[in-house]
């Protein structure tokens, strides 16, 4: 074929565009990490770039799990729980900052979110259907109080002012992990994607010209959705009493614990929070779950960047003022 320099260049450019466009695609990855299902979806110019980005996100999830799992005796957090009631324990910047953010959510929620819930929380094993008796609970609850967790900015030290106190970051760690995952995707040049860990999702950009559609599941029927929301560049977290639980004598013992009683919080089925940062939406969804409908709506209505939908214990929906 004969062509002028100009038309040849045009043809080459068109072919390059077509080949890139043909190769760009949605790529997904799924793994079980941190005791939950991790899903990553990216729009990538080619498969290798997409797969590399997804692998980097999964590696980050494993790293965070090693740092924050209370089930691993050699994790940094297990070291804190073993010693911080006796002495100041110096920890890494990352864990220090996340504990500090946990304390911020405690302040915001008036103590409904409290990482020291674990002082009583560790007495439950939802898989083995183990729960503490009343005497054990009463003693353990004495140790729950986020104001008794002291952080020292200069030394990065943490100290518990109560004997028997323990912390667990399970109420914000997954949100933090998906936020980190989104940052890694951006570093890999990904502009449209999603990272989710169980009930916590971070959305990057839109779904190429349209919003992502995210559903809130019916807390009593996993195949049904009670609401669908179009989202762009947002974080969304749902806390539900169906995630980890067992039933005994007609009572549902689930994993969201009221810091004042050490028992499973009772008034709602699920809480969904939408906002600009997944660490916050995660912490707030757990905190609002403990607060219940009235106090929970009041809190979220006072935070301009966050919205909520609460499903109460009759299955009725309660959106925050700005939700629509
Ligand atoms: P989520 O699914 O985000 O609501 O997180 C539930 C997890 O948060 C539980 O499995 C616990 O690890 C932790 N948790 C439970 N109750 C509380 C609470 N009152 N404050 C902070 N974290 C909690
Ligand atoms: Mg949470």
Q: How far apart are the first and last CA of the chain?
A: 59
Under a CB-based contact definition with an 8 Å cutoff, are residues 269 and 240 in contact?
A: yes
Q: How many CB atoms neighbour CB 193 within 10 A? A: 28
- pTM for the whole thing? 0.93
Under a CB-based contact definition with an 8 Å cutoff, are residues 309 and 216 in contact?
A: yes
CA 274 and chain centroid, separation? 12
- 198: CA distance to ligand 2 center in Å? 10
pLDDT in tens, 224-274: 999 999 999 999 999 999 999 999 989 999 999 999 999 999 889 999 999
Q: Over 80: is that where the pLDDT of 14 sits?
A: no
Q: What number does the ligand 1 atom closest to the CA of 285 have? A: 4
Under a CB-based contact definition with an 8 Å cutoff, are residues 68 and 146 in contact?
A: no
Mean pLDDT throughout 290-303?
98
Under a CB-based contact definition with an 8 Å cutoff, are residues 273 and 306 in contact?
A: yes
Task: Give residue 71's pLDDT band: very low, low, confident or very high (50, 70, 90).
Answer: confident
Give me the chain's average pLDDT, please. 94
- 271: CA distance to ligand 1 center in Å? 12
Q: What angle do CA 312, 318, 319 make, to 5 degrees?
A: 145
Torsion angles phi and psi, residue 305, rounded to 5: -85, -5
CA dist., res. 28 & res. 25, Å (int): 10
CA dist., res. 94 & res. 81, Å (int): 17
* pLDDT value, residue 5: 61
Q: Which residues of 15-36 are buried (b: 16+ CB within 10 A; e: fewer)?
A: eeeeeeeeebeebebebebbeb
Region of poorest pLDDT, from 42-46, 70-74, 117-121: 70-74
Please compute, for residue 271, the number of CA atoms within 13 A of its CA located in the half-sphere on the CB side: 31
Pocket of ligand 1 (CB under 6 A): 113-115, 117, 121, 168, 170-171, 199, 239, 243, 255-257, 259, 282, 285-286, 290
Q: Over 70: is that where the pLDDT of 16 sits?
A: no
Computed on alpha carbons and rounded to an integer, the radius of gyration of the chain in Å comes to 22
- Surrounding residues of ion ligand 2, Cβ less than 5 A: 171, 282, 285-286
pLDDT in tens, 209-228: 999 999 999 999 999 999 99
């Amino acid at each position: 074929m004969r062509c002028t320099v100009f038309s040849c260049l045009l043809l080459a450019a068109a072919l390059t565009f077509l080949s890139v466009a043909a190769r760009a695609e949605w790529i997904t990855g799924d793994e079980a990490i941190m005791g939950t299902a991790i899903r990553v979806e990216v729009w990538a110019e080619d498969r290798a770039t997409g797969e590399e980005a997804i692998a980097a996100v999964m590696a980050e999830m494993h790293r965070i799990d090693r740092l924050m799992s209370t089930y691993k005796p050699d994790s940094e957090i297990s070291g804190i729980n073993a010693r911080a009631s006796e002495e100041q324990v110096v920890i890494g910047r990352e864990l220090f900052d996340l504990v500090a953010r946990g304390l911020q959510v405690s302040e915001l929620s008036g103590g409904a979110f409290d990482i020291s819930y674990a002082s009583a929380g560790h007495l439950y094993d939802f898989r083995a259907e183990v729960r503490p008796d009343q005497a054990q609970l009463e003693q353990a609850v004495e140790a729950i109080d986020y104001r008794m967790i002291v952080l020292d900015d200069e030394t990065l030290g943490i100290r518990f002012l109560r004997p028997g106190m323990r912390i667990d970051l399970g109420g914000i760690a997954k949100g933090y992990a998906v936020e980190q995952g989104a940052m890694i995707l951006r570093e890999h040049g990904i502009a449209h994607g999603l990272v989710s860990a169980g009930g916590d999702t971070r959305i990057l950009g839109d779904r190429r010209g349209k919003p992502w559609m995210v559903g809130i599941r019916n807390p009593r029927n996993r195949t049904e959705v009670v609401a669908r929301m179009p989202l762009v560049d947002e974080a969304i977290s749902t806390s539900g009493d169906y995630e980890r639980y067992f039933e005994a004598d007609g009572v549902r013992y689930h994993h969201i614990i009221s810091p004042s009683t050490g028992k499973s919080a009772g008034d709602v089925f699920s809480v969904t929070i939408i906002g600009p940062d997944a660490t916050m939406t995660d912490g707030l969804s757990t905190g609002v779950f403990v607060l219940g409908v009235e106090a929970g709506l009041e809190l979220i209505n006072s935070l301009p960047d966050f919205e909520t939908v609460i499903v109460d214990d009759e299955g009725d929906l309660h959106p925050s003022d700005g939700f629509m």
